Structure 1
Amino acid sequence: MAGLLPKNLDLDLTLLRDLLALGQAGNLSQAARHRGITHPAFGRRIRALEDWAGTALVERGSRRSPLTDEGRKLAAAARQIEAILRNTRAVLAHSPEQALQTITIAAGRTLSHTLLPRLVADIRDACGDMIWKVKTTSLRPGLEMLRERWADFMLGHAPEGAMPPGMEDLLSCSVGRDALVAVSAPLVSGYPKYAVPQSPSQPRVPYLSYAPGMALGAILDNVLQRQACRDRLFTIYEADLADSIHAMVRQGVGLAWLPLSLIREDLLQGRIVRAGAKTEDIDIDVRLYTRQATLEDARTRGVWEAVSALYG
């Protein structure tokens, strides 16, 4: 096909699908097998696409990524083109709800209304309209949903420790950052009503904690166990919802570590205040998880490719 695709001719969508396959497979040989053609023929088709684009699209010899920056830009455009065509076909058929693809995502309760809306909006820009079904859950049940294929993806804070059995093919991509911040209701002076204890001699402080099984709780406990302050905290409230703990902090009940994404506005308005130094904030990674087996479906593979291109 090389030399058969002058720049003044319309572009064959087959070549764009070749590029998407290459971006997903990671090398020419695997992409050729996926597309059902020989390696040399696939290489000629990619070179023909490069001739049309007028630039290199493949990072030949690189182990980092099969596509150049220009290749990733064209692949993102290809996903949008396919999404536009799918949606247009649905409109022409007068039944868009039947043609739209459904994506099921399990998400932490806090992330479902902090980071998830932005993530879905970014994916829609890249992949077009889809039906999104969100199941709010905590880390372990969310991973179980992935394993049993009750969910295509899971959005969660990076877990501590080993993955559960049967998750050897788990894939993840970082899609955001957050931080756990020690906070308290303020005194009239603006100082915290409850501050993080800095030494064993300080009085014990009432503590609002996460329920067992929550990723935020596991991350926080792992850090606090290494600090002297943990023995000076006594739990008076436990919840599996950060919003509930947030409400109790505002009522002045105790000290808590809450996601910055959840409390940023309250901090700016002074409704709650920091209970420790900013340098002691606990950075946390937010990741989107899926399984290799899930990506056998073109529907979920397209979403994963978009996320990898946007955030990876």
Structure 2
Amino acid sequence: MDTMWLEDFITLADEMNFSRAAEARNMTQPAFSRRIRALEEWIGATLVDRDTHRIALTEAGFAFRGIAEEILRRLSLGRDQVREIGGAQVSELRFASTHALSVTFFPSWFRGLEDGWDVGTVTLVADHMTACERFMLEGKADLLLCHHHPAASHRLDPSGFSSLHLGDDVLLPVSAAASDGTPIHRLPGTDANPLPYLEFEERSGMGRIIQAAKVAGSGITALQPVFRSHMASVLLTMARDGRGISWTPLSLAETDLKEGRLALAGDDQWHIPIEIRIFRPRARRSQRVEAFWNMLKARSA
């Protein structure tokens, strides 16, 4: 059994689409499908129900997903521990970050931490929230930087992961601004004239937060989805071009709002306060990661 098959399966479980999962794994769909079949043959059970319009995990697939994630996480942790025992200093900090925070928050935040502290080598991978969760669950990243809302779901269970609050942000509904500075689209819209909606994909953490906060798609406003993406920067560009309304972090939209390219498309009742948090596994990581985390805790205290 090739451990790469486990990564293939977890990616498919996240994407629930063979084409997108194959693309994420940088291979053709036929090759990807053969690898999933090979894993199922090795296990001796069907993991994916392919008979429905949209694929779904079987009962065996749901059970095996957690096992696969645990195997990969233990392999990663074990490798780092053995390298330290063998005298190989593990000095790298491996970050996963959602796209928006990798641009708006991470550079200045990390620059402020470097003063007087040897951070060593740093790796940052930016992706949507589902992929970032996968990096953490598989042990491919030590730390995750993301937006957080207490009502929104995520896969980093408190029994296995801890987090620190680093800052605050707010999701705002925005629209392109007319010549007088007013939004060309304004909430709430009507059933007879729904507003064009630039929507986050379900893989996005922002999409989960908006759904959990129940400000969109709950019957209190009339929205017609016209475009979807997991990237806030793409939706922001579409909103700036007048294509519709999008919820976007203030940290990303602030310059456009100040310079009049965007306008708020709704008052405070449509605003969603969110946190910026950093997550780590509770299991011990390398000395470098532990020292970095202790420094963060001391600063937050």
Report the TM-score range of the alignment, normalised by the length of the smaller protein.
0.5 to 0.7
1:135-180 CA-partner distances (Å, limit 9, x unpaired):
1122232122122211110101116555538772201001111111
Q: Does 1:189 align with 2:180?
A: yes
The alignment partner of 2:185 has SS state of coil
1:225 Cα deviation from its structure 2 partner = 5.1
SS at match of 1:213: coil
- The one-letter code matched in structure 1 to 2:247 is W
Q: Counterparts of 2:153 and 2:220 in 1: how far apart (Å)?
A: 27
* 2:148 aligned residue (145, 154, 158): 158
Aligned mates of 1:215, 1:281 — CA distance in 2: 16
Q: Paired residues, what number? A: 212
Alignment deviations for residues 108-156 of structure 1 (CA, whole Å, 9 cap, x no partner) = 0110011111221233225324211101122232122122211110101
Normalised by the size of structure 1, how large is the TM-score? 0.62
Separation (CA, whole Å) in 2 of partners of 1:170 and 1:147: 10
Displacement over 3 Å in runs of 4+: 159-167, 225-230
Which amino acid in the other structure matches residue 190 of structure 1?
G
Deviation string for 1:33-61 (max 9, x for gaps)? xxxxxxxxxxxxxxxxxxxxxxxxxxxxx
Q: Does residue 166 of structure 2 align to residue 175 of structure 1?
A: yes
| SS of aligned partner of 2:234 | helix
Determine if contact 1:157/1:215 at 8 Å carries over to the other structure.
yes
Equivalents in 2 of 1:285, 1:116: separation in Å?
14
Write the deviation string for residues 172-201 of structure 1: whole angstroms up to 9, x where unpaired: 001111111111111222211000116x56
Unaligned runs of 5+ in 2: 1-87
- 1:141 corresponds to 2:131: yes
Per the alignment, residue 244 of structure 1 pairs with 234
1:258 to 235, 248, 256: 248
The answer as to whether partners of 2:152 and 2:209 remain within 8 angstroms in 1 is no
Counterpart pick for 2:93 among 103, 112, 125: 103
Is the aligned partner of 1:309 residue 2:301? no
Q: Which runs of 5+ in 1 are unaligned?
A: 1-97
What is the identity percentage for the equivalent residue pairs of Structure 1 and Structure 2? Answer: 24
